[in-house]
A and B are shown apart, each in its own frame.
Chain A
């Protein structure tokens, strides 16, 4: 059946048949990797490997909590692209690696698929069910649902089947993400700390003076504070209502000044 799919020759003219493997370096993905390389070798197809890094808005603890929960399904978190490239090389299969730095994962895989027009896509099903599936969704099912190309899906994993790939994967584990300790190579004078503080305070005072001014007005000039100036609105009411646009303008002016200074630097 897969032979038939390959004979449909979806690959670009002159490039032969193409198989697309999507991998995240988990044990289910290693199963898919092994299957994809087997198929590519058997049919002489070029293997394209796509890896997508999930870049979701998450707090550190949210992220850690998810990773701990995910590990139960993934079994291992290796650099899937590198593992697949090495396994393909060992099996003399021509392979190309494509990585995306941000998801959505399903969208990125399909984006690449539309570019290379594979004969079919191979990927592993992690086996999410129940709450996990509701909360996080299943990439495999997303691909099945939306892919315009045929999909070959491997389900779960068997340690014995992927033992040789696991060996490679264990040597290519994804290290714990460290926030890059990037220290700009500039002298203290070049930082212009005092000037930056001056700009910050200068713009801040544009808000703080009227802000604390309202306190002074209410405390020491109460008669003036309750003088009506616009219909039934007294000085305090108008002052309060003006403080919000003053704050917005202050923030925008500060942003523009800071951006300009940074551009100059």
Chain B
């Protein structure tokens, strides 16, 4: 259990973040100054809100945490999360903004009017993807509370689940967008401070030294598996970093180092599956698509996305150095956690532990507080997206067309509570998983369920209603089967090896199914008007 100072800093940072967000939201109404020029910075606000939405526990804890245990191979996560925005920018951002619809259900039914099955499919896909995205956030929060307060993981997850649901359904919904803006800045700043402190205190401000040390280390995850039953393994907690690294390197001569690719994704199929799932997944994430609602002009959709790319690109470069540095600094701790059966902490807690090591209790507080901010903002964004899609796209459009706004908001809140409870239940079984890995699975599903159907709807005139439905069904079924198989550690499904990401199978399956069914059917929907909206000049 950590000190009172750390706890106070965590609580203070969260309160500050929420307080500043509230103040910003409030000043948007009550500021005594009125600047017309303020409208021109909306793209920047949007870029920050998108960044706050996007940088989740997976990015703040998971990416650097995964690099700390697997090495350079896990930079794929950051690269893919980054590259996904380039795909979104080039193929979808502006057409989606021009169409003016922000959930997959709405976009599809704008072209294929009145299709209940597409509406239902869109809602189901959004719920499945978002659930898989919320789960890692709660797992990360549970591990944080374990570290911060020494709580049991189950209890920690139940508490955080209750808090997040209460936050979103009561006050949180009113200021979520402004929270994202502040929290985007908090996360970037926290990672920057941790990196500078680490470089200053351990590596003499020389990033080259980080790489030099990395090239001497066998990644802890790999080493712990290879040394699991070795009786000569010492108690790592009694060793210094250099001693622990020397012992493992001596025992595992010739093994991969932290700079050797392939420690996580060991062959081309796994590597390409991961790369494809990540880079095409962002463009199918419901909460990312919905965020473009707040962009005022189509042109701002592009400038906002470029702003996000600058923020998250620099963030993921930092995570690479922080992750490799953390591997060196925490080597004995990480080995000790893995071999001692405490992999929940080893998988995700490298950033807070590194912060404590280099900046004491204060920096531990900053790291944990930053992570909580990440979790809070991302889960809020996800749950609100789910609330929107269930209440508006499904309840209002399919079940009860005459529902009042009050009723719609109530249904949204009930959906948020139900989904929150479901996510907490799933999280309880995921304690030992790296949160970034779990998020990559959500990306794989988004890449298969939503990206192909959105891409083809927006760019292909010959795409049909039946083809769209078939695309989503194929993407959903194949990706869910392979995700469940991956989590269940099943080696193959129907003779196909189970990979680290489902996208290598599910993305082509969705595209091919959609193309074939479209070529066999004729209902292209209101294609001309849809294309005019998506590609006409409306700025």
- The residues of A with any CB-CB pair to B shorter than 8 Å are 54, 56-62, 64-69, 100, 102-108, 110-111, 131, 134-139, 141-142, 145-146, 176, 179-180, 182-186, 188, 191-193, 196-197, 200-201, 203-204, 207-208, 211-212, 214-220, 222, 225-226, 231-234, 236-237, 240-241, 243-244, 247-248, 250-252, 254-255, 258-259, 262, 265
In the bound complex, how far is the Cα of B310 from the Cα of A185, in angstroms?
36
In the bound complex, how far is the Cα of B461 from the Cα of A59, in angstroms?
30
B535 and A196 contacting across the interface, CB-CB below 8 Å: yes
A251 smallest CB distance to B (angstroms): 5
Known A-B contacts A218-B271, A241-B317; the reply to A247 vs B82 at CB < 8 A is yes
B531 and A135 contacting across the interface, CB-CB below 8 Å: no
Q: Is B401 an interface residue (CB 8 A)?
A: no
B537 and A265 contacting across the interface, CB-CB below 8 Å: yes
B171 and A131 contacting across the interface, CB-CB below 8 Å: yes
Known A-B contacts A244-B82, A244-B317, A251-B86; the reply to A62 vs B177 at CB < 8 A is yes
A143 smallest CB distance to B (angstroms): 9
In the bound complex, how far is the Cα of B260 from the Cα of A225, in angstroms?
8
Closest 8 CB pairs of A and B: A184-B536, A107-B34, A219-B268, A218-B261, A146-B32, A137-B30, A142-B30, A104-B31
Chain A residues, CB < 8 A from B175? 135
- CB-nearest residue of chain B relative to A69? B174
B90 and A59 contacting across the interface, CB-CB below 8 Å: no
In the bound complex, how far is the Cα of B267 from the Cα of A216, in angstroms?
10
Known A-B contacts A104-B33, A106-B30; the reply to A135 vs B171 at CB < 8 A is yes
Q: Contact check: which of B412, B528, B535 meets A61 at CB < 8 Å?
A: B412
Known A-B contacts A104-B29, A204-B87; the reply to A255 vs B174 at CB < 8 A is no
In the bound complex, how far is the Cα of B79 from the Cα of A197, in angstroms?
24
- CB-nearest residue of chain B relative to A179? B100
Given contacts A212-B275, A251-B85, 20 further A-B contacts (CB under 8 A): A58-B294, A61-B388, A61-B392, A68-B409, A104-B30, A104-B31, A107-B32, A142-B29, A184-B536, A188-B461, A188-B531, A193-B535, A204-B86, A214-B79, A215-B271, A215-B275, A234-B215, A237-B211, A247-B83, A254-B89
A233 and B171 contacting across the interface, CB-CB below 8 Å: no
- CB-nearest residue of chain B relative to A191? B535
In the bound complex, how far is the Cα of B33 from the Cα of A145, in angstroms?
13
Chain B residues, CB < 8 A from A265? 537
B309 and A216 contacting across the interface, CB-CB below 8 Å: no
Q: Can you show 18 pairs from A to B with CB atoms below 8 A apart?
A: A56-B25, A56-B177, A60-B102, A62-B173, A65-B412, A105-B29, A106-B32, A110-B34, A137-B26, A137-B30, A146-B32, A188-B461, A208-B87, A215-B275, A240-B72, A241-B320, A244-B314, A247-B309
A240 and B75 contacting across the interface, CB-CB below 8 Å: yes
A138 and B30 contacting across the interface, CB-CB below 8 Å: yes
A60 and B309 contacting across the interface, CB-CB below 8 Å: no
A68 and B30 contacting across the interface, CB-CB below 8 Å: no
A231 and B272 contacting across the interface, CB-CB below 8 Å: no
Which DSSP category, helix, strand, loop or mixed, fits chain B's interface? helix
The residues in B between 235 and 279 inclusive whose CB is less than 8 angstroms from any CB of A are 259-262, 267-268, 271-272, 275, 279
Known A-B contacts A57-B42, A212-B275; the reply to A186 vs B532 at CB < 8 A is yes
Q: Is B155 an interface residue (CB 8 A)?
A: no
In the bound complex, how far is the Cα of B384 from the Cα of A216, in angstroms?
39
B31 and A59 contacting across the interface, CB-CB below 8 Å: no
Q: Contact check: which of B82, B91, B461 meets A204 at CB < 8 Å?
A: B91
A59 and B177 contacting across the interface, CB-CB below 8 Å: yes
Q: Is B94 an interface residue (CB 8 A)?
A: yes
In the bound complex, how far is the Cα of B317 from the Cα of A203, in angstroms?
22
Q: Could you say which of B5-13, B300-308, B335-343, B505-513 contacts chain A?
A: B300-308
The residues in B between 172 and 199 inclusive whose CB is less than 8 angstroms from any CB of A are 173-178
B29 and A103 contacting across the interface, CB-CB below 8 Å: yes
In the bound complex, how far is the Cα of B86 from the Cα of A32, in angstroms?
52
B528 and A57 contacting across the interface, CB-CB below 8 Å: no
- CB-nearest residue of chain A relative to B82? A247
In the bound complex, how far is the Cα of B375 from the Cα of A142, in angstroms?
34
- CB-nearest residue of chain A relative to B33? A107
Chain A residues, CB < 8 A from B62? none
Chain A residues, CB < 8 A from B87? 204, 208
Interface size class on chain B is 35 or more
- CB-nearest residue of chain B relative to A110? B32
- CB-nearest residue of chain B relative to A109? B34
B538 and A136 contacting across the interface, CB-CB below 8 Å: no
In the bound complex, how far is the Cα of B73 from the Cα of A219, in angstroms?
11
Known A-B contacts A215-B268, A232-B212, A236-B261; the reply to A57 vs B49 at CB < 8 A is yes
Binary interface encoding of chain B residues 418-429 relative to chain A, with 1 for a CB under 8 A from any of its CBs, else 0: 000000000000
Binary interface encoding of chain B residues 304-344 relative to chain A, with 1 for a CB under 8 A from any of its CBs, else 0: 01100110011011001000000000000000000000000
B90 and A102 contacting across the interface, CB-CB below 8 Å: no
In the bound complex, how far is the Cα of B26 from the Cα of A196, in angstroms?
41
Chain A residues, CB < 8 A from B267? 219
A264 smallest CB distance to B (angstroms): 10
A261 smallest CB distance to B (angstroms): 10
In the bound complex, how far is the Cα of B314 from the Cα of A98, in angstroms?
45
Q: Contact check: which of B22, B275, B459 meets A135 at CB < 8 Å?
A: B22
Chain B residues, CB < 8 A from A57? 42, 45-46, 49, 177-178, 294
Q: Contact check: which of A54, A176, A192, A204 meets B29 at CB < 8 Å?
A: A54
Q: Contact check: which of A68, A185, A203 meets B90 at CB < 8 Å?
A: A203
Known A-B contacts A131-B171, A193-B459, A200-B91; the reply to A136 vs B29 at CB < 8 A is yes
Known A-B contacts A59-B293, A232-B215; the reply to A108 vs B268 at CB < 8 A is no
- CB-nearest residue of chain A relative to B533? A183
B409 and A62 contacting across the interface, CB-CB below 8 Å: no
In the bound complex, how far is the Cα of B484 from the Cα of A151, in angstroms?
65
In the bound complex, how far is the Cα of B307 from the Cα of A20, in angstroms?
41
In the bound complex, how far is the Cα of B392 from the Cα of A217, in angstroms?
46
Chain A residues, CB < 8 A from B225? none
- CB-nearest residue of chain A relative to B27? A104
In the bound complex, how far is the Cα of B29 from the Cα of A146, in angstroms?
13
A193 and B461 contacting across the interface, CB-CB below 8 Å: yes
A181 smallest CB distance to B (angstroms): 8
Known A-B contacts A67-B405, A252-B306, A265-B537; the reply to A231 vs B31 at CB < 8 A is no
Chain B residues, CB < 8 A from A247? 82-83, 86, 309, 313
Known A-B contacts A59-B388, A226-B260; the reply to A231 vs B22 at CB < 8 A is no
